[in-house]
Structure 1
Amino acid sequence: MSGTVTAGLAAMREDLADFYRDLHRHPELSLQETRTAALLAQRLRDAGFDEIAEGVGGTGVVGVLRNGDGPVVMLRADFDALPVEERTGLPYASTVRAVDGEGREVPVMHACGHDMHAVCLSGAAALLAGARTRWSGTLLVVFQPAEELASGARDMVADGLFERFPVPSVVLGQHVGPLPAGFLGYGSGPVMAAADSLNITLHGRGGHGSRPEAAVDPVLMAAHVVTRLQGIVAREVPPAETAVVTVGRLQAGTKDNIIPDTAELGVNIRAFTPAVRDLVRAAVERVVEGEARAGGAVSPPDFTWFASAPALVSDPDATKRTVAAFAAHFGAQRILPMPQVNASEDVGVFGEALGIPTVFWFWGGLETEPTLAAYAQGRIDELPGNHSPYFAPVLEPTLTTGVEALVVAALSWLDVNLVGDGAATPQ
């Protein structure tokens, strides 16, 4: 059945490749994705969607295709880029620079593959719209902004996504990554970690570097904090659990011989269970407060928590059903079980908001044979991964596989018209 629906992909392939190259060449930062959003909305219009809404939760785009009685199935893709300077050397590499939310001019690149996500969903939407005699139900297509800020999904829900549009019974999504192109990877249960970001300000008393006794040095406090935070996972999280604490930003001072008044740290936390997540969050605050007191801080530290995303759970039963459809379409040899991924994704917010299953999978974007060889030889870390300035999926078979995966997944949940196909697909 899915092969019948995807048969039209060959005729669309070059147009989708051109669309991908255009999006890759013109990336937009989170909450600034206006050009991309307009192009995606036009793609849905061209495909014949009944209802299209722009500006949902900021720059989000929603398309609804009603096709008779049956389930409501949601397909989701994100489309924001990152403040990364591209080094791929591709003829369509980004040279874009933009002003970020803090007023800084930064380079911009689709270093996480969200351009590929958006193009594949636009292609899948067009194929499903063109094959309406083959299925029934309602297709809800969601292009989500600001995934990199872990805010886009919540913003869309808060903007009435599930009050203004049909309520789905399942959420389906995918992510391209450093797997061999043409292959799919999946997990069951918690597949990606919860994430929390925290800004910390430590308060000292500035002075001349030659008279440290007359000052309170927040840089020294910050150094102790950075070191001490690494003991949380090593000594407080049970060895059978997984957690990560990263200090990705430490900023203080303007000159080598001036002790500044403050020091700032940016901290990121990953965990898979609510208990460990709460443990680590509390431990971070305890450690920072303790080091501030030990360092004689003139006032307590300031904590600003932001960019929070829940653990992404791929519902076991729903995943089994979807992966079975993948195996039937692609062949079991192209379906790879995957370990948990410490990176995070806010797509889980949608299913969590409704109490419905989410199914999330990965698909490969790197050259197939060299990547398989790197896996076999234990050289995975040498491969360019998401957020790298060198990460850019090969166009094929990445594009074809991503489009087909979304179509196959959707058809595994929609009511399928089997007339003329000769075989039934279990529902």
Structure 2
Amino acid sequence: MNVQSNKMSGKAAVFGQIEALLPELEAIYLDLHRNPELSMQEVRTAGIAADWLEKYGYEVHRNIGKTGVVGLLKNSEGPCILLRADMDGLPVKEKTGLDYASQATGTDRFGQAVSIMHACAHDMHVTWLMAAARLLAESRKQWRGTVMAVFQPAEEIGAGAAAMLGDGMVKKFPKPDVCLGQHLIPLPAGQIGYRPGVAMSAADSWEVKMVGRGAHGSMPQNSVDPVVMASATVMRLQTVVSREVAMADNAVVTVGTLQSGFNENVIPDEALLRLNIRTFKDTVRSRVLASVKRIIEAEATASGAPKMPEIREISKFPLTVNDEAAMAKTMAAMGSYFGEARLTEMEPLSGSEDFGLFGTAWNVPSVFWWVGGTDPEKFAAGMAGGEPIPVNHSPFFAPVLHPTLKTGVETILAAAYAWLD
């Protein structure tokens, strides 16, 4: 009884150390926010994470899946837990007006010059895991087992987890008993969201090149206009969800890119579409993908296109599925620490994640939860019909620093201690 009491009081002392770390964590976060890097280009961010892990005694493996980092901390026999943070920014021009707003620019995977922003809080995720990794290293007397800290690249394009696994993670590192991950979303800061079972959608992204016949703008009769073809395709694709998906099912079809031509008096010969499909069921996914392909090809035929469109997959995300027993165990620990009032069971989110690939690769449970980062008053006002709340991927997305920094570290520690002996 005394041993258990000492362990509990020791862990409480670890949580108590977070407050003193906040100035250092804030400096790390602001630096990462000012210096975002695109998917598979996270060299600086990965170096910061790797150097930090080495400083606190982790066995560090760099350049896993190109820019990924894995840190191992072995502390006697016991369970192994995988803790994951994603690192990449987005090709978004920041418009938050913050004094630490990103001014970074770069070249994206399509060869385009773009602005770069941490519009999905991966800078916060990295900071959280760095802090938790340090505190776990400094509290070895409170637990036994192995901590595997994973700093993953390219989550935004669905390539990072697959790249790390393709680089031999399953063979190189010990099998975890559970994979634990989290993400910041527009919930009130300090709140934690969770969902047993299916938690986030599957996603498929395609690039489509529609081929027409160019001509002078004054002589459309000599053309097969790809602008009209692409526009008709975009409009027709809106009927997939409204007319081909049952009301009880869910799907999203979004065209995020439509590019064609450079001059107002030239009918171009090609148009480019990039589209994204989200679904929660494999049967719905298959049906929607088939419908999207059918419409793209049918519009080309209807336009008299000289060639069928070229369709290329550019990213693919699996369903994020939380193991129900593992989630119950993890949330029980969080409820014990935070109090049940700070936990919110949510509906499945239409966003997507590649985190689940780690659990699938090792055939172990995955647990993924969400941490709020929105000012509570602004959140309440937005929900009441006031100023809309900037969401992930918005150029205005800006988490409040406090208590968000602290909460994210606390959630990782609570989850980790629930699984480590």
Q: Which residue of 1 aligns with 2:413?
A: 407
Deviations along 1:129-181, one digit per CA (max 9) or x if unpaired, are: 11111111111110001111110000000001121111112110000111111
Corresponding letter in the other structure for 1:48: G
Match of 2:402 among 391, 396, 401: 396
- Give the distance between the partners of 1:242 and 1:80, measured in 2 at CA: 28
Where in structure 2 are the equivalents of 1:184-223 lying within 5 Å? 184-223=192-231
- Measure how far apart 1:378 and its partner are: 4.7
Give, in whole Å, the separation in 2 of the partners of 1:251 and 1:86.
22
User: What's the offset of the Cα at 1:194?
Assistant: 0.7
Deviations, residues 177-202 of structure 1 (Å, cap 9, x unaligned): 11111110111111111111101111
Cα distance, 1:322 vs structure 2: 0.8
Match of 1:33 in 2: 42
Instruction: Note the C-alpha offset of 1:373.
Output: 4.3
Equivalent AA in structure 2 for residue 349 of structure 1: L
Q: Is the 8 Å Cα contact of residues 215 and 268 (structure 2) preserved in structure 1?
A: yes
Measured in 2, the distance between the counterparts of 1:300 and 1:371 equals: 47
Q: Is contact 2:227–2:271 with CA below 8 Å preserved after alignment? A: yes
- For residue 374 of structure 1, the aligned residue among 382, 389, 413 is 382
- Determine the C-alpha separation between the residues in 2 that align with 1:229 and 1:157: 34
Counterpart code for 1:404: E
Q: Check whether the contact 1:202–1:262 (CA below 8 A) recurs between aligned residues.
A: yes
Supply the distance in 2 between the matched residues of 1:133 and 1:14 (Cα, whole angstroms): 26
Hey, what does 1:309 align to over in structure 2? 317
Tell me the residue number matched to 1:131. 139
Cα distance in 1 for partners of 2:200, 2:249 equals: 14
* Deviations, residues 38-59 of structure 1 (Å, cap 9, x unaligned): 110111112211x101100010
Aligned partner of 2:19 in structure 1 is 10
Matched, 1:298 2:306: yes
Match of 1:122 in 2: 130
1:48 correspondence with 2:49: no
The Cα shift of 1:209 comes to 2.3
Please state whether the residue corresponding to 1:147 is helix, strand or coil: coil
Greater mean deviation of Cα atoms: 127-136 or 386-395: 386-395
Could you tell me the TM-score, scaled by structure 2's length?
0.95
**For residues 323-362 of structure 1, what are the structure 2 equivalents within 5 Å?**
323-362=331-370
TM superposition shift of 1:213: 2.0
Counterpart for residue 320 of structure 1: 328
Distance 1:292 1:373 in 2: 46
C-alpha displacement of 1:354: 2.0
- Deviation of residue 275 (structure 1)? 1.1
Asked if the contact 1:3/1:329 (under 8 Å) is kept, the reply is: no
Distance 1:370 1:211 in 2: 54
Paired position in structure 1 for 2:4: none
Following superposition, the deviation at residue 252 of structure 1 comes to 1.2
Whether contact under 8 Å (1:5, 1:134) holds in the other structure is no
- After superposition, the C-alpha distances for 1:98-146 in whole angstroms (9 at most, x for unaligned) are 2223332211111110000000000011111111111111111100011
Distance 1:227 1:93 in 2: 36
The alignment's C-alpha RMSD in Å is 1.3
Aligned mates of 2:190, 2:410 — CA distance in 1: 11
Match of 1:70 in 2: 78
Q: Could you say what secondary structure the match of 1:382 adopts?
A: coil
The AA in structure 2 aligned to 1:277 is: R
Q: In 2, are the aligned partners of 1:76 and 1:141 still within 8 Å (CA)?
A: yes
Amino acid at match of 2:32: L
Unpaired stretches in structure 2, ≥5 consecutive residues: 1-7
Contact 1:192 1:313 in 2 (8 A): yes
Which residue does 2:153 correspond to in 1? 145
Give me the whole-angstrom Cα distance separating, in 1, the residues matched to 2:218 and 2:116.
Answer: 42
Preserved CA contact (<8 Å) 2:170 2:361: no
- Shift of residue 257 of structure 1? 2.2
